Structure formats: C-alpha cells, structure tokens
Structure 1
C-alpha cells in the first residue's frame, strides 16, 4: 500500500509553499511504508546512462540525513531511495530528493511501485534510432565527399567539398549529438564530469577545427571524423539500449499478466474491487479466460488451469478444491470461487517481478571495479589530452593546429564505452537467458558468486524429490477390495489417501455408510454392511483377521520391508475379519535430478545431501543419485554448521532447498537456489528461484554464471588491451581523429558482440521444463539404476 508518512505530509506542505510543479499526490504514491518504519521511494531518472551518473547521484543522496540507502538501476533508469524512520524529522523528504536531483542535472519523476507500465513510456529506442539514422546518412555522404578530396581534388573543388561537408555535418552532429551534449552540459552545470564531457568536447573541437580550415582555405578538415564518431557512438549506445530493453521487456511481460481488479463475492453478490484492495481471506470469483488476481485457494468450481507461468508446462491442470493457485495463472474453462491467501503486492507474480528488477540492481565485484574505473575516466582523459596538446605544442615549436589535432584524437580514442559495457551487458544478457529458462535472479552479484562455487548442498524432500507421496507397491487385492479401498481413499483429505486412489486407477466404487475419519488413524466405513478400514497399519489390524496369508505376520513383515527399502511409509486396508493388505508409498524424484547431479559432478563440484528425514530414505536416495556424502536427521542448526564448516575450509557453497527449515541455511550459503514450489520464507531467502519442475535448472544456472564470469574477464581484457595500444599511438600523433573514431567504436561493438555469446548458452544436464514423460518414484528409479542382484547402498 502507499505510504502515508510524516515525510509525505512535509513534502506536500513544501510543495504548496514553493509552487513546485511536482504534485504531492505523485510523491505520495511513490512511497511504500515498510514494517520496520522505513519508507521506500522509486523515481524515474531518464538522464542516467553511465557509471559516473550513478556515482554522482548516489554520492549526493547517501550522505543526506535520514537516507538509509540510495541505489540507481542503470538498466531501468530508476532510483530507489529508502528513508529511515528518522528521515522526516531530519528534513529529508521526497520533495527534497527530487530537488537535489534537479540541481545535479537529473530531473526525476515519481514512479508508482505497482505501475510498471510506466517503464514502457520511458523507452528511448525510437529517439536513439532516429539520431542514429541521421548520423549514418551524414557519415555516408561526408565520407563520399572526403574520398574525392583524398583522391587529389584541386583547391577550388576541395574547398567546395569542405563547405558542402560542413553543411551536412554541423546540423547532423547538432541533432544526433544531443544525446551526449545534454548529458555533458547537465554534468558541467552541476560542477562535475562524466564520460559524455570528453566525447562532447571531441565532437565540438573537431567541428570547430574543421570549420576553421574550411573557411580559411586549409587543406584538411575532419567533418568525416565528427560524423563517423557520432554514428559509431550512437551504434554502441543503441546496442546497449537494446540490451536494457530486453531486460525491461521481461519485467513488463510479467507485469502485463497482473490483473487490474478482482471480482469479490459479497453475500452472494459480485462486486468488482481494485486489485490493491484485495486482502487475505476475501472470497473471489475468477471467470474462465481470466488470470488469478492474487495467490488463492480454490473453494468451489471445476476448471482447467494454464500453470505454464509457474511450472513451464503447457499441459492444462485440473483445478480441485483446496488447490493453491498462484497469481497470474490463467483459468481456462470454468468459473472458480477462490479464497485469497495474499495481497497483490505479496503474491507470487509480484515476487517474480521484484526479483527480475533486483537482478539488475545488485552490484558485484566486477561492477564495482567498472564503476571505479569509470569515475576516474573523465579526469584521466582530460589530463592525457592536455598533456598531448602541450607536448606537441612544444615539440612542433608552437604548431597549435597539430597539437589540437592530436588532442582531439586522444579524446576520441579514449572513450570508455567498451569499459562501461564490459559488465552491464553481460549481466543483462545473463539475467535474460536465465529468465528464458525459468530461473529468476534476485541480485546481480549472485551471478558472480554462483560462478565461484565448488560445493553444492541439497535438501531432500521438496528439492531432490517432489515431496508428494505416490503408490509404489501394493499387495494383490481382489476386485472388491480394490473398489472399497478406492472409495475409502476418496473420503479422506490425507495426501497418502490421494496417492492410493490415484495409484489404484479408475473403476466403479461401492456406496459407503457411516463414514468417519479419525485423525492420526485413517478412514472407516460400512461397505455393503461390512466394516472396512484404510489407514495406519496398527489401527487397521485391530479389525483384520489374526492369521492368514496377509495377517499379523505378513503385516509386520511388510512394514519392516518398507523400512528396509527406505520407502516413505505404508498404509493398510482390511475388511473386518479378513486378511490385511498394505500399500507402500514413496516420493517421486524431481525431474532431471539424475542428469543434474551428474552434470554438477562432471563440472568438478562436490555434491552433498542434508536431510531431516530418517536414515533409510536418505541412504536410499543418496545411493540412487550417486551422492557420496549424505547426512540424515539434520536440524536447521546442523545444516548451517555444515555450511560454515565447508566455508571454513575455503569452499564456496551453493545451498539448494525449499522448506521453512531451509531458510536459515539458504541465507548462510555463499549463494542459494529454491524451487518456485518452496515456502515463502525459502523463496525470499534464496538468490535464485527456478520455476520449472526440472532440477536441471541448477547446473544450467551454474553454467551460465561461469560463462558470464569468463565473458566479463574477456571484456575487461579487450577494453584494457584496446586502450593500451590506442592511447600511446594517439598521443604519438599516429592516429587521425577519423581512425580514432572507428577504432573506439569498433572496441565497443566487439565487447557487445562478445557479451551476446551468453545468449546462446545451451542447456546442460537435461531438459529444464516438463518434457520428461513422467516422474518416477525413488523405488522405481532405484530398481532401474541398481546393478542386478545387488541392493543399493550409500557409498562410503
């Protein structure tokens, strides 16, 4: 909900007093009050475009009293400011923030945290493309005229072509160069430098020198260098913008799935309410063809759901009473009555959106290195250009023309575009590639941390397995017993009963009388006048026959056999006075678990299993999956202790878990992952969330992270190598402004092209989505993987 804090009231009073154009209502909706008393404000800052801009804004806002943090998102061009509870008394208000940004040369507009559609209106690709077209047209024509001059045109023809080039180049650079000029002038007006200052200086000096030569009848002019530099700079800026738009489109794509309102059921009537007014406990109706507005639980109705947003599977799923449905899931065939279990801003869809935004927000080690280098860029470039100018002025005995030409070449050739793009483009492409594979990244620095891991710890239930019981083995039942067991299972809400009913298949079921479900025991009913029970073996044995082929001896043997085999448990069925039958239940192994773990081991990572389950099921699963180290009956404290022990040995740990008890260990790991089916605490604690069923998302994410690390290092090497070669050549006077423009732009294009290789990252370790025909239980998979005649054992 919007924040109604004292800071907001103060902002509105100041607005009325100063007559500011920015409305207090906009500022009011830009804030959100946190449970700890902090207030978060988000602003659109379209003038931000480089590391120096980020540094200028954050350095100006973070020292302000009451500002807990100020973080600029370069990809989305958004500023997020968190005010501490004492922010209002200190005088730091949203109005003051906007006023400070205005003085710095960065006009800011408040953004409603729920209105991500505003991002679409902030796109600048159209303007950049128009500027690029103008610069390209001018460059082509000026270069054509320059070729004629280079070919030996006489003085009259040369002077004419120079003037014609001036008529083309000056307006072209004036229009297309606005991208750089506005940024540079704003920075200078605020008393600081950014990377566009030397770029603008190079453009203006090259145009000024060329005009002087043309009007004075000189033999050389550099209009071609000015327009070519503008063109290639815009090519790099446009490619960078495309990468950022790709990241924005992912966020906007999710945001478009959010409903704008919900249909509430009030005393049998239907009332449409804004989505922000939906609270947990409300009863809603979701017609066919509409998406679930919030996370909800189905109360009544029959329909099929498209849950591809959550699971990646396009196969429709039948909606059943009690089923939990995430926000954004599409209702296909019939109306459903549901009970809201979250608000819109706490829903699964909102969480996905927040994680996609945060993926671009975090700054890891490489990003911080690039930021520091970008801060030093402008002063260093100006010093180098000044040194070149003075040096050549002295060396040539006062030839200012040659000195200015060399200084211009230095200014052009040292443009830090390649360095500025080295990390952000890789992170944008990496986040986009992971998103395509159903993996959400919460923090940009997590990608760097994931690339460094050498150990992976897995939880068992809900992570390596689905956590859902399935029927793996049963005694031979007669047709009557089978039908009666199915009928009893249908009258119970216990997961084991649903597994038995599903495993026994379809058929005609008898009528039941005097049905009663006893908590902790099972279901009892009369079937054609005979008492029957389905449930805990000891409870069922009370009415079963004392002897016979399926009596007490068989029951005891069956239970012990289940324990030896490591199966989840057993359920019994019997008619009164008849032999007892047992059903063995097991968990389904998560899709892709076997190839995923094999791929992680092949990548040189150690794999461990930490589970709170008993010894038998843990040993069985570890042996089946080839996990060499497994620990059972692990408490949350035990898991954290193991993580800290590995970290103490110098290991970088990836923790993969899903339960509430896994949240502390997820936070303790160097980096963590959780499935989308995890509890809220688990998803919030994890750095990555994978929405597909397959566990192959884990090795895929590791592979993408390692490739990203390699590409970032390669980009840094390319940028440093370029400057190491180009700068000395330019200062030595061996590079003309035109060659400098082409070389500088080529370096940026090479870095972007190198980064785009990450978009072609292939899946490793098996399918990521639900393209495995069917899940197998631990028992079924173990039967296939175990050597014939040899029981599976936990490796030493």
Structure 2
C-alpha cells in the first residue's frame, strides 16, 4: 500500500516535534506501541528507511522509543507516523512520562492476563483430570465425560479469550497491515485448538484441548512477562541516572532576582545558583564562589574536587560546601549525566552478530511454519488421516514451533550481562561490544591516566616559570597541563586563540605573545630524551623551560595484569610519554612489552599491525591521543574520567579508580557469549526435534504448549545465570 498525495495531505502536522541538532540535521523521537520482537524491529526500521527523507531509523524495544533521523534539516513527521500506523504500530511523539505510564500499564495488563490464564488453566484441568483418568482404565460414562468437557469449556474459553488479547490484538494489527508477525501463529493455534475442542465436545468425540489452549497462554505469558521485566531492568538504569538530575534549578536574572525554573527550560548562557548539598543541574562554568564537588557519579572518584571561578562543573556532581553561581554551557539533554544515560540506552539497542542471526531466523519463521502446518494438514489427510487428526497435527506444529526461545536467546543474555556490568560501574554501548570483548587475545594499556592514576604532581616547581606557563596550562585538558594549572591555581588568566594538537601539546597567545606547552620537539627543543614525565614551555624565539612530573601506578594495576594473563591474554603498554616513566610503570605492573614516545598515528598503526597479524586487541585509553587507536581496536574501553571524544570512541566506559574491572568485564563478556551460544544451540536442537515430532503426530496441542513454553523458560533462566558471573 503506497501513501498517496491525498493520504499524506490528511496526515496530522507533527512538525513541532521535529528537533534540530547543532549540525543542522533533524530528528524525531516517537513512542511506538505493539513492537515486541526482533521481527517487529526489523520490519519498522526497514520500512522507515525506505522513505525518501529518512536517513536512519532505530527502535529501542526496551523503551518502545523510535529515533528517526532525516536527511537535511527538515523531515515529514506525519509521513513517518502514518507509515507506522499502516504497519500496525501506532505511534505518538515520545514523552518520558507517557512512556513510563505505558510501560506500567503493559506490566499490569500482563500480570492480570497471567493471573486469569493461571486461574483458567488450573480450573480447566480440574475437569480434565477425570477425563484423562480414562487413559488408565478408569473410563467415565459418556454423559459424565461430556459434562466434564463442557465444564472445562465453560471455564477455559472466557479465560483464554481474555488472556490471549495481548496476542490477538498484536496479530490483528499485523494482519490489517498485510503482514504476519510471530503472534499470528500463536493466535491461530489457540483459536483452532478451541474450535477443535468445541467440535469434539458437540460430536461427543474422545479428545478436547480446552486446558491446552489456556495452558499455552499461561506459559507464553510467563515468558513475555519475564522478557518485560528484563527489558525494564535495562530501561531503569538510564532512568535512574536521569533521575539524579535536579528536577529544577534556581536561575539568577539580570536584576539579581532568583526564580525556580524546570530543568528542561534552562537555556545556554543563563546563570544558575547552586547551594551546598544541591546537585549540579546542568554543565557550566563557575562565575562566582568556591566549593568542593563530589564527582563520584561521573568519574568514580570519591575524593572531593575543589572548584573556583573559571572551573567547569558537570551536571550530576554534588556541591559539598560553598554556594556557586554557574554560567550554563549546555541544556539538560546535553549534560554529562544525559550523555551517560544515552550510553546505557545504547546498550539496550543491540545489533550484534548473534542478534542479526536471530533476526534473520525470525524473519523467515512465519512463512516457513505456516507452510509446514499447511503441508502437515494436507499430507496427513492425503495419507488417510481424518480431517480432525490432520488438523490436530497442524495445530501442534503451529504451537510447538513458536520461536519465542529464539527471539529471547540473545537479547535476554545481553540485557542481563549489560545490567551485571552496569552494577559494577561499566557502561556497555552496544551488544556487539560484548561479543568483541569476549574475543580479545591481546590487551593494550595507555600509561598516563590508565595504568597510572593520571594525577601527576609537579616536581620542584619554580614560581616564576610556573606563573608564565599557567595561562596556557589552564586552557588544556591534558593531565600534565591540569597538574601544572592546579599547582599555579586554577583561577587566573587564560591564554587566547588556543589550539590543542593531539599527542603534541597546546599553543596559544599569552598577552599577545605566541607560546607553546607540550613535548620538547613541539616546543622547539630538539634531541631531548628525558627520564621523567615532563612538559616543555616557551614563547616563540625565547628560552624553553622544562616542568617535571611524577605519577603513581594504580594500586591494583599489577593484580589486574596478573588476572589478564591468567585469562590467557598478553599485555602491552603503548604510551606517548618518555621511555623512563613508561618503563618504570610497565615493570611495576608486571608488563614486559612496552613502547614509549608514540604519536596518535603510531598507536593506531601499532593496533593495525596487531590486527594484520590476526590478533584481536582490546585497547584501554583515556586521552585524545588514544581516540584513533581505540577506534582501530577490536574492542575498546575508557575510564569515566576520560575525554568525551575518547569515551565516544570506546565500546565500554568504566568508572572508579581500579583496573581489575577490565579483567572482570572480559570474564562477564565471555560468559555472555557462552550463554548466547548455549541458547542458540538449545533453540536449534529444540526445533529440529519438535517440528518433526508434531508433524508425525507424536505430540498433541497440550504437549506442544508445554514444550514450546518450556523452551522459552529454559533460555530465559539460562540468561539469568549471568547474575552470578563475576560476583565477588
């Protein structure tokens, strides 16, 4: 069905919900209802990607959130919403409150349907058991037996119709759109089972399966509810982070008057007052006030961080002592906390190799299983079976081959593994990251800020030279420059026209004179190979000054390296620092292989060389000069205190001061890979055995229902075993 001009002209105007980003692009977030499986996701994303003005579409099943990016700066939101409606998935502009409300309503609905199905299954079987007793030579009289079947029908039918509504409604929407999702064969199987049972009861036949229909729904609803809870757990991680932001902020007007504004209404450039004990609402510069911040949420660092005028504060930090007045640098949706929440959300939107395989299997499921059911019916009738027996076999095929286990096999594992890592302080940005992390054979560490604490201390500072270099140091994000700025005092003049060159240093104007701060060769000192971690400073055409620093090894670095070796991994250090400090740090950590004085290109080339040799490398780095190497590595990790560009290049971001989490993450990733492969193997074996058994008449609809639902429970419970992995 094509969208005609007349159809589009009748579409409601949703252009107000299309957002413009800083690059001039346009995007739209929608709340999609009814999408539950990988097949739904693939259908929605593929159909929207075919629209002429849509650049990409990505559905997060966890939240029901569909993110659509348009080509250019404009997009037709009405066309997108009407396309979704045509597919059978009604959508509205995304609102977090509405999404949470819809999620809670769905949860209550599933619980109520599950309760009704449990009641129906238990009571229908109460009347079915006397009928089953005939299998053991205790045959009931015809009248009594028929009465029991009618009583079973009286209880089971309304319960099945109510409990099946989540499946029936989804199947009906799909069929109206001219497509078939996984709920179609389930609905057909339930309806046919009830129909056959009524025919058998009316004709005084031997078998009826009212209990099977409602038991099937009961077991299916258990699996759907468990899946719902697993997704809610992943969804709540991002929601909990966003909840740490203050709901409002005190804005100081030009006249000095204070007024409280909702967080979402705070604009860039406004002045915000943060009192002691309050959480920083948005990212901003300190204009006035001196205090200490608790940045544990953002960096994992528990020690209070002093701030004064000129310092940057990140949203989510807690103001511990004095009042601060901030000049806001970003809106709440662009804050540090929101960025972390987006990393968590991204972990739920997984499209790894295993998920893609499951998507392909699910895409061919509906036509294949309906064909098998039709062939079973036609073949059975042709081979001499009566229409009743042939239809029973076809229904059993529809029920027993339901791919619920396949659909849950990988997502359940990835969601559980991501939640496990989140509780350990690791944010997983994609399911593919877990797969790649499980495959690594070689680990590469940067030195400064990763193997060491990243808080170098200036040795023997000279006040005169320190004052000269401080304006340029305050303008740099490099750890050595920050240490120099901390020694000189963070408040004070800053250099202008600053330009930071990755792996080299920073240059800018100080009182109109061009100056450089960085490596010796960058500043203009040739042939220098010092034995200490150092920065050089100098004005153009003037004497150059050296600043020496010391940096302590992380307390658990040696233990972390030992654990990585115990996992069968080799370890190496690649650093842009001087050979002396790199050698000392590597030796203290128990690492024999190390290289020093590397540029960003050198690090990336080293990673490429390992890849060319067939080695799968995990790169752990935190600096701007590590971003290229992180992007080239098979898997990449960055600490929470790393630069934004570095975190964006990494697959996983970890908080805290320790490195043991690197080894723990690999252990959990390997366990997740095993669980996913176990689930895949079980799902494949189940279908290979179950489908022929149903076609040959070895199972009836009741046994088919028990077998199918049991397979879903097996893969879900196997995924839940991830909670025990890495527990300490």
TM-score, length-scaled by structure 2: 0.85
- 1:674 maps to 638
**Alignment equivalent of 2:601, drawn from 630, 634, 637:** 637
- Per-residue displacement from partner, 1:441-494 (whole Å, max 9, x unpaired)? 22222111211111222211122122212478x99xxxxxxxxxxxxxx9x998
**How far off is 1:325 after superposition?**
3.1
Aligned partner of 1:219 among 206, 231, 236: 206
Structure 1 distance, partners of 2:493, 2:186, is: 78
Partner residue of 1:137 out of 119, 130, 148 = 119
2:131 aligns with 149
Aligned position for 1:527: none
Q: 1:700 aligns with which of 664, 684, 700?
A: 664
1:546-568 Cα distance to aligned partner (Å, 9 max, x none): xxxxxxxxxxxxxxxx965x466
Deviations 1:758-785 (A, max 9, x none): 1222158xxxxxxxxxxxxxxxxxxxxx
Aligned to 1:551: none
Q: 2:274 aligns with which of 283, 286, 291?
A: 286
Aligned counterpart, 1:480: none
Partner in structure 2 of residue 204 of structure 1: 191
The aligned residue for residue 522 of structure 1 is: none
Distance 1:287 1:715, change over 3 A: same
In structure 2, C-alpha distance between the alignment counterparts of 1:584 and 1:643, rounded to whole Å: 29
Shift of 1:221: 0.5
Residue pair 2:213, 2:702 contacting (<8 A) in 1 also: yes
Matches within 5 A, 1:746-761: 746-761=710-725
8 Å Cα contact 1:470-1:499 kept in structure 2: no
Helix, strand or coil at the partner of 2:418: helix
- In structure 2, how many angstroms separate the alpha carbons of the residues matched to 1:78 and 1:386? 37
Q: What is the match of residue 741 of structure 1?
A: 705
Cα gap change, 1:636/1:315 in structure 2, threshold over 3 Å: closer, same or farther?
closer
CA distance in structure 1 between the aligned counterparts of 2:7 and 2:182, rounded to whole angstroms: 34
Question: What corresponds to 1:122 in structure 2?
Answer: 103
The one of 456, 480, 483 aligned to 2:443 = 456
Match of 1:344 in 2: 332
CA RMSD of aligned residues (A): 3.4
Which 10-residue stretch deviates more, 36-45 or 426-435?
A: 36-45
1:411 matched residue in structure 2 = 398
Cα gap change, 1:303 to 1:567, in 2 (>3 Å): closer
State the distance in 1 between where 2:548 and 2:88 align. Answer: 70
Offset of residue 121 of structure 1: 3.6
CA distance in 1, matches of 2:682, 2:120: 30
Deviation, structure 1 residue 500: 7.8
Per-residue CA shift, 1:679-734, capped at 9, x if unaligned? 12112222211122222222222222111111100000011111122222111111
Which sits farther off after the overlay, 76-85 or 257-266? 257-266
Corresponding position of 2:77: 94
Q: Which structure 2 residues correspond to residues 576-587 of structure 1 after superposition, within 5 A?
A: 585-587=549-551
1:108 to 91, 105, 113: 91
Aligned mates of 1:307, 1:42 — CA distance in 2:
31
Structure 2 SS opposite 1:47: coil
Distance 1:340 1:739, change over 3 A: same
* Of 554, 576, 588, the match for 1:624: 588
The 8 Å contact of residues 75 and 247 in structure 1, kept in 2 or not, is answered as yes
The reply on whether 1:365 has 2:329 as its aligned counterpart is: no
Q: Out of 639-648 and 452-461, give the one that drifted further.
A: 452-461
Where does 1:414-453 land on structure 2 (aligned, <5 Å)? 414-453=401-440
Structure 1-normalised TM-score?
Answer: 0.78
Query: Cα gap change, 1:342/1:588 in structure 2, threshold over 3 Å: closer, same or farther?
Result: farther
Q: C-alpha distance in 2, partners of 1:263/1:14?
A: 49
What is the CA–CA distance in structure 1 between the aligned matches of 2:345 and 2:393, rounded to whole Å?
44
Please name the residue that 2:173 is paired with. 186
Aligned pairs (5 A) from 1:535-554: none
How many Å separate the matches in 2 of 1:117 and 1:593?
Answer: 46
1 CA distance for matches of 2:285 and 2:183? 54
Gaps of 5+ in 1: 1-10, 476-489, 503-515, 520-561, 571-581, 765-796
Match of 2:522 in 1: none
Are 1:80 and 2:80 matched, yes or no? no
Pick closer, same or farther for the CA change 1:406–1:657 going to 2, 3 Å.
same
Q: 1:647: Cα distance to partner?
A: 0.9
Deviations 1:14-67 (A, max 9, x none): 99963x5x563xx523x3223443311111112001122122212221112121
Secondary structure of 2:454 counterpart: strand
1:209 Cα deviation from its structure 2 partner: 0.5
* 2:304 counterpart of 1:328: no
TM-superposed deviation, 1:145:
1.1
Counterpart of 1:600 (choices 558, 561, 564) is 564
Tell me which residue corresponds to 1:542.
Answer: none
2:616 to 652, 660, 665: 652
Matched with 1:726 is 690
**Is the 2:530–2:578 contact (alpha carbons within 8 Å) kept by the matching residues of 1?**
no
- In structure 2, which of residues 352, 364, 373 is the aligned counterpart of residue 385 of structure 1? 373
